Structure 1
Amino acid sequence: MRVLVVHNRYRSAQPSGEDRVVDQELALLREAGHRADLFERRSDDISSMSLPRKAVVPVRVPWNPAARDALAARLRADRPDVVHVHNTFPLLSPSVLDACTVAGVPVVATLHNYTQVCPTGTLYRDGAQCRACVGRLPLPAVRHGCYRGSRLATVPIALNLAANRRRWSASVDRFFCISAAQRDILVESGMPADRLVVKHNFVPEPGVVRTGRAEHLLFLGRLTEEKGVRLLMSAWDRIAAGGGLGVALALAGTGPLQDEVARWARDRDDVHYHGLRDPAGCRELIARAAAVAVPSTWLETFGLVVVEAKAAGVPAVVAGHGSLAELVDDGVTGLTHRPGDAASLAESLRRIVADPERNRELGTAARADYERRFGPRAGLANLVGGYRAAIASTGHGAAAVTTST
């Protein structure tokens, strides 16, 4: 099968799980013998642009004719069986969908967030869940300056949503939702249910798994309000006031709250802030953990770190809502806590380390769930199956439909 993946990479200063998913799926397809190529733009390139070119970037968020023409030329040269679209913001734009339509190439799109119904893609504002723009013009987002706290910066992405909502629905043959919880919200918003399918992200074998005594509890991710970092700090202070757990809390990542986290961790023996770690360093931190903590206050569309922990035989403590409750079977592969409740989170963290034997059982069950639902074999079957369905629905690429995986 010939696959062309279309993706706008995020800034390297803010590592994205979405970028990792793209790279991992490309490698998976290539290892299975498919021809998988990449058409990409990089947000890092914006910093080296001239001032006039930088000024044009926001204007072209809803429609970028240069990106459309470049992809059209690539489609004529490569003649792929299917195009797989991931992120188009800010340097590609939904104009790439038009290039695919004109070329008659089936399109699959992975929805990594909620940008189809929310300009910022988070359904989150001012420390609380928000659906003010779902199913209507995204004027509330502009009024509140939801993107980077700026009304002016929010205008291009609000226009993008308003102008291209129908284009996405008309041009994409198959939408991959990365959790059932995400799909439910998008169906409720009016997106075409018959083309929204659940395809969980897969995780490659980590190469390192947990052995021996765990050294810490781990938070690994972006240091933002919605990821629950402040909630975790509050819960840990409760734990420390009660005498601690006998293991430290390790935090790794970067983001708007990194200075606050670093100050909080400074001069404490029970907290270690590791900053930004490379993928190998992240895998090592996970393999040494008693559990990973994912106390997100927003509705995560997936929870990649939960599956990365499963792959290493490590259970998770997660907020019991959205996709996180879907990924963790409470009391079987990890524990859940009441979302936004520091006392509940603290109690779940205590329970996950209180009984080492029970913790090992949870980790073993988590690893078994990874092998069944989230490993490379399941990932390839789900990915190629989605491509085949998209191709079959349009009548294009009949030969590719019967290609063996």
Structure 2
Amino acid sequence: MKVVVAHNRYREAIPSGENVIVDTEIAQLTAAGVEVLPFQRASDSIGDLPASQKLLLPVSPVFGRAAQRDLAELLRREKPDLVHLHNPYPLLSPWVVRTAHAHGVPVIQTVHNYRQVCSSGLYFRDGHNCTDCRGKALGWPAIQHKCYRGSAAQSALMATTLAVHRPTWKSVDRYIALTGRIAAHLRDYGIPGERIAIKPNGLPDPGEPAPLGEGFLYAARLSPEKGLALLLDAWRQHPDGSLGPLRIAGDGELRPLAERAAAERTDVTYLGALDRAGMEAARRDAAVIVAVPTWNDVLPTVILEAMAAGRPVLGTDVGGIPYLLGLGETPTPAGWAVRPEVATLAAALPIARVDAAQFAPAARDRYLRAFHPDVVTGQLLDIYAGLTAGHDAAPK
């Protein structure tokens, strides 16, 4: 089988679980004998584009002329069985779906967020969950609130792109929803249930877990929806040193909060942005991983990485986190999920500290049963086979 994997990579300066997942999936498919043809663009490359292409950047989310030309050439040359799309913005554009169909190639998209409807993709703005654009022909609220990159002009462009490409998204041959919640989002958007498959992300097995370290690790993009302020407010409810160390890894607009907390308390350390080796070391040093987003985070990669490493997770009960941790599915879940409230999280911190060793084996077991490559790659290959078996290769 020959598969084009299409993805617009997020900026490397901002940690992206989606980039990690795409890289991992390519490696897993290749190991399974699939011929993978990566078709990727990187947002980091925008500054190096020729002047002629920079002039077209404002409309690239709608059409992406250069990407369509290159994809068409790839499809003619390689004649793949399917195109598997992840993130199309800004340089690929949803038009890649139409380009693939014009060449008789079916398209699968993995849905990592809510961007069929929401300009930011998060269903979150101004510190709270928001679905104001759901059901609207044009997302005027996104323009009013500058939801895309803090710009009314760019928000208008993204809202227009979503409106223009509603028929494009409706034509995708198969969607992969990471969770049941995302499947419900797609059905609400108008996608028939028979065109939606539910398959979570997976990660390579790092091997047998190291013994638990000490304290807590928070690793995320330091932006409001990721819950850093919530965690620090809850942490301050306890005397300095009473919970062991809290290490914070990541970068972003809320970096001053992390730096201020580290200056105020001896039990808080700000590690800054870490590379992969640095993150692995930070996980080994911790007993519990904290993942406390306040938005409906779909399937946080940091939690997958924690469970693979045998670290239980203290999370919030939003988005896909309860599913990730196996709450309600297994006798002993991979951690704890609490309401995204200061008092509730503050009460859970000492419980997680005391019970970490009890929950660690369950975290590793949850990974092995649900998110190991042997499990999720098999599921993905079944989805591919189910689509290509009945596909008419005539151009649409």
Q: Structure 1 length as normaliser, TM-score?
A: 0.92
Please name the residue that 2:314 is paired with.
Answer: 317
Please name the residue that 1:381 is paired with.
Answer: 378
The within-5 A match list for 1:23-42 is: 23-42=23-42
The within-5 A match list for 1:200-239 is: 200-207=200-207, 209-211=209-211, 213-239=212-238
* In structure 1, distance between residues paired with 2:143 and 2:193: 28
Please name the residue that 1:280 is paired with.
Answer: 277
The within-5 A match list for 1:363-374 is: 363-374=360-371
Task: Give the superposition deviation at 1:361.
Answer: 2.6
Task: Give the superposition deviation at 1:396.
Answer: 4.7
* In structure 2, distance between residues paired with 1:88 and 1:48: 19
Kept after mapping to 2: 8 A contact 1:208/1:283: no
Greater shift in the superposed pair: 383-392 or 218-227 = 383-392
Runs of at least 5 residues in structure 2 that lack an aligned partner in the other structure: none
* In structure 2, distance between residues paired with 1:230 and 1:55: 39
Q: In the superposition, relative to structure 1, how do residues 72 and 50 fare at CA in structure 2: closer, same or farther (>3 Å)?
A: closer
Task: Give the superposition deviation at 1:190.
Answer: 2.6
The within-5 A match list for 1:131-142 is: 131-136=131-136, 137-142=138-143
Please name the residue that 1:44 is paired with.
Answer: 44
Match of 1:244 among 242, 245, 255: 242
Cα deviation digits, residues 102-125 of structure 1 (max 9, x gap): 111111111111101111100001
The within-5 A match list for 1:292-303 is: 292-303=289-300
Percent same amino acid among aligned pairs? 38
Kept after mapping to 2: 8 A contact 1:9/1:40: yes
* In structure 2, distance between residues paired with 1:332 and 1:4: 36
Task: Give the superposition deviation at 1:389.
Answer: 1.7
* In structure 2, distance between residues paired with 1:210 and 1:99: 47
Kept after mapping to 2: 8 A contact 1:253/1:277: yes
Task: Give the superposition deviation at 1:51.
Answer: 5.5
Please name the residue that 1:9 is paired with.
Answer: 9
Greater shift in the superposed pair: 25-34 or 44-53 = 44-53
Task: Give the superposition deviation at 1:328.
Answer: 1.5
Please name the residue that 1:359 is paired with.
Answer: 356
Kept after mapping to 1: 8 A contact 2:248/2:270: yes
Match of 2:266 among 269, 273, 290: 269
Please name the residue that 1:86 is paired with.
Answer: 86
The within-5 A match list for 1:177-216 is: 177-207=177-207, 209-211=209-211, 213-216=212-215
The within-5 A match list for 1:119-130 is: 119-130=119-130
Please name the residue that 1:337 is paired with.
Answer: 338
Please name the residue that 1:328 is paired with.
Answer: 325
Cα deviation digits, residues 119-172 of structure 1 (max 9, x gap): 1100001100000111212111011111122211211111110000111111x1
SS in 1 for 2:353: helix
Task: Give the superposition deviation at 1:193.
Answer: 2.1
Kept after mapping to 2: 8 A contact 1:6/1:38: yes
Kept after mapping to 2: 8 A contact 1:83/1:108: yes
SS in 2 for 1:39: strand
The within-5 A match list for 1:45-84 is: 45-49=45-49, 53-84=53-84
Report the count of equivalent residues.
389
SS in 2 for 1:24: helix
Task: Give the superposition deviation at 1:234.
Answer: 0.3
* In structure 1, distance between residues paired with 2:41 and 2:283: 31
Cα deviation digits, residues 34-62 of structure 1 (max 9, x gap): 11110111111112235564342122211
* In structure 2, distance between residues paired with 1:73 and 1:278: 35
SS in 1 for 2:293: coil
Please name the residue that 1:254 is paired with.
Answer: 251
Runs of at least 5 residues in structure 1 that lack an aligned partner in the other structure: 398-405
* In structure 2, distance between residues paired with 1:286 and 1:157: 37
Kept after mapping to 2: 8 A contact 1:67/1:95: no
Task: Give the superposition deviation at 1:207.
Answer: 4.2
Q: Say if 2:287 is the partner of 1:290.
A: yes
SS in 1 for 2:7: strand
Kept after mapping to 2: 8 A contact 1:2/1:82: yes
* In structure 2, distance between residues paired with 1:188 and 1:87: 20
* In structure 2, distance between residues paired with 1:287 and 1:186: 38
Kept after mapping to 1: 8 A contact 2:293/2:318: no
Task: Give the superposition deviation at 1:252.
Answer: 0.5
* In structure 2, distance between residues paired with 1:320 and 1:110: 23
Q: Which amino acid aligns with 1:244?
A: S
Kept after mapping to 2: 8 A contact 1:329/1:335: no
* In structure 1, distance between residues paired with 2:296 and 2:117: 14
Q: Which amino acid aligns with 2:163?
A: A
SS in 2 for 1:325: helix
Task: Give the superposition deviation at 1:228.
Answer: 0.5
SS in 1 for 2:230: helix
* In structure 2, distance between residues paired with 1:206 and 1:165: 40
* In structure 1, distance between residues paired with 2:103 and 2:368: 38
The CA RMSD over aligned residues, in Å, is 1.7
Kept after mapping to 2: 8 A contact 1:181/1:326: no
Task: Give the superposition deviation at 1:20.
Answer: 0.7
Q: In the superposition, relative to structure 1, how do residues 83 and 52 fare at CA in structure 2: closer, same or farther (>3 Å)?
A: closer
Q: Structure 2 length as normaliser, TM-score?
A: 0.94
Task: Give the superposition deviation at 1:214.
Answer: 1.9
Please name the residue that 2:151 is paired with.
Answer: 150
Task: Give the superposition deviation at 1:223.
Answer: 0.6
Task: Give the superposition deviation at 1:263.
Answer: 2.3
